[in-house]
Amino acid sequence: MLSQEKNPPLKLVIEAGLIPRMVEFLKSSLYPCLQFEAAWALTNIASGTSEQTRAVVEGGAIQPLIELLSSSNVAVCEQAMWALGNIPSDGLEFRDNVISSNAIPHLRALISPTLPITFMRNITWTWSNLCRKKTPYPCETAVKQMLRALSLLQRHHSEVLSEACWSLSYLTYGCKELIGQVDDTGVLLRLVALMTISELNVWTPSLPYHGEHYHRHK
């Protein structure tokens, strides 16, 4: 129902107390189809209001979703990542819930040039949501982990590059200390090279970083 209907009855599902059952389904490793449907349902709920996202978080979904990032079933893994990507977009508290559950190393481990482009786009979209909320910024350890992961994404398809550059822009804009950390990753030369790419969606998000970097060093 939640994974197929155009306007699923999210409120009714929450009020019926079904989220804990879905979370249990995420742990059904012998039944990947059940895991996939449960992850899809939770994705839809987490894409709703902040209260609906909170219901997913308080229902204990984050940790099982993170564990599914290691699933050998690509569809299950991708759907779990999509659900996780919806959670931090609703606020700093939810972003920090995902980060404190050790999601970043698991997301970073997924980065591979052999993955389908759609999968890689979803990875960078998830990174973007983790980086978007920045008042306050994530803890220093999390920032360093994200910067290392984003530096790995700088050698992929232009659509992936675009989202990775937006993530860097969100993470560093207005914060000179973080700009210095970006320099330490060695990604600056790659960003300069991206300015020669014709795709507007790639070099546009690179501009804020270059502007901040200029003001820092002039």
Please give the pLDDT value at position 80: 96
pLDDT (tens digit, 9 = 90+) per residue, 109-161?
A: 988 878 888 888 888 888 888 887 667 777 778 877 887 777 666 655 666 77
Looking at residue 196, its pLDDT comes to 58
Length of the chain: 218
Q: Model pTM?
A: 0.77
3-state SS, one letter per residue, for the chain: CCCCCCCCCHHHHHHCCCHHHHHHHHCCCCCHHHHHHHHHHHHHHHCCCHHHHHHHHHCCCHHHHHHHHHCCCHHHHHHHHHHHHHCHHHCHHHHHHHHHCCHHHHHHHHCCCCCCHHHHHHHHHHHHHHHHCCCCCCCHHHHHHHHHHHHHHHHCCHHHHHHHHHHHHHHHCCCHHHHHHHHHHCHHHHHHHHCCCCCHHHHCCHHHHHHHHHHHHC
pLDDT for res 179? 63
Please indicate whether residue 89 or residue 172 has the higher confidence score (pLDDT).
Answer: 89
More confident residue, 104 or 213: 104
Give pLDDT, residue 10: 86
Instruction: Tell me the average pLDDT across 83-105.
Output: 92
- Please state the rounded mean pLDDT for residues 59-69: 97
Task: Looking at mean pLDDT, say which of 56-70, 156-170, 189-203 comes out highest.
Answer: 56-70
- Tens digit of each residue's pLDDT (9 = 90 or more) over 15-37: 999 999 999 999 999 999 999 99
| Structure confidence at residue 20 (pLDDT) | 95
List pLDDT tens digits, range 174-202: 566 666 666 666 666 666 565 555 554 44
Longest dimension (CA), the chain: 59
For the chain, domains (ranges, CATH) are 1-91 (1.25.10.10), 102-218 (1.25.10.10)
Residue type at position 16: A
Which comes out higher in pLDDT, residue 8 or 70? 70
Q: What is the mean pLDDT of the chain?
A: 79
Average pLDDT over residues 70-86: 94
Residue 22: the pLDDT is 96
C-beta neighbour count of 184 within 10 angstroms? 12
Better-predicted residue by pLDDT, 210 or 29: 29
Q: What is the pLDDT of residue 7?
A: 66
